[in-house]
Amino acid sequence: MQEQIKNTKTLEELQTLYTATFGKNGTMTAKLKNMKNLDNDARAKLNRENAALRELFKSRQTELENAAMHAALATQRLDPSLNPIPENRGTLHPLTQTLSDVSSILESFGYEMWTGPEIEDDWHNFTALNTPEYHPARDMQDTFFLENGNVMRTQTSAIQIRSMETVGAPIKMFGIGATYRKEMDATHSPMFHQIEGLYIDKNITMSDLIADVREFLKRFFNMDNVDLRIRPSYFPFTEPSIEIDMKWHGDRWLEIMGAGMVHPNVLRNCNINPDEYQGFAFGFGWDRLAMLKYGLNDIRKFYDGDVRWLQKTGF
Ligand code: DAH
């Protein structure tokens, strides 16, 4: 019997032998059932035999289990020193990161974020912005017109109008979103993004505008100081209108944004009395700001969804 146990090769074999010994009809079970007919010495002997056999089964089971584990380890190798398979972690898109930076700066100045519809009516995209019907900005060359007379929003300035219509004055807001124009090259995409600021209250002046823009640019580009150049310009919805340039890397002037004092007609169109309230607006390319900050030169790449490009940008 002891030899038999030691010679088992598998756990199944051992289990079969165990059942034949200790099972309902097992040999040892039968002997134990007969215990009452034995004398004391024979009982003691049988008890010892029983205990020894159980012990033997247990140790053979341990041996076979260990052997099975070693066999498994030999074929299923686990090498904890191997490098893990590199995982592709998601990161923020440069535009998302830029918006997050821009909005936290503008919100710290008290501007509240607004959005608006990308399909706009003529009123919000043009007319209320003091853009007369003959203005070249309405030209078929630039604007995507829909059949029902609506347009794909050409500028986030439309959001200014919606915010003033809703809230009135005073108001301090910035609008963000996608804008659309028929143009396409490395620095122009038919869909791009703008960010627009508006501050209307009593006694708001051009110096408030320049102070906010300067502080904004300093924080956004992490610069101790920014050199600004203010050039007269023209936008239908501001009077006077300016363009703001920024000194870039000490030698170049970059056009950063359009701005100006909100035209009295625009305020009137939103039921705000221009004799009581005035203020400024500014608008800039969200994509362009991201390109400058991260040193990117092709706006179209923002929309390709090419992970290799994103990784190259350091994102
Ligand atoms: N909407 C203008 C554009 O798309 C940008 C702009 C200029 C916005 C002056 C303004 C502003 O709010 O005051 O070119």
Distance CA 153, CA 57 (A): 83
- From the CA of 101, how far away is ligand 1's center (Å)? 20
Tell me the per-residue pLDDT of 252-299, one tens digit each, with 9 for 90 and over.
999 999 999 999 999 999 999 999 999 999 999 999 999 999 988 888
Please say if the pLDDT value at position 73 is more than 70: yes
Helix (H, G, I), strand (E, B) or coil at 278: strand
DSSP H helical ranges for the chain: 2-7, 11-22, 27-33, 40-75, 94-108, 122-125, 157-167, 206-220, 264-269, 286-294, 307-312
Question: How much is the pLDDT for 315?
Answer: 66
For the Cβ of 235 lying below 6 angstroms from any atom of ligand 1, the answer is: yes
For the Cβ of 259 lying below 6 angstroms from any atom of ligand 1, the answer is: yes
- From the CA of 235, how far away is ligand 1's center (Å)? 7
Could you identify the atom of ligand 1 that is nearest to the CA of residue 196? 12
Tell me the per-residue pLDDT of 112-128, one tens digit each, with 9 for 90 and over.
999 999 999 999 999 99
224: tokens are 């101790």
Please say if the pLDDT value at position 139 is more than 80: no
Q: Which residues are annotated as a binding site for Mg(2+)?
A: 239
161: tokens are 């109008």
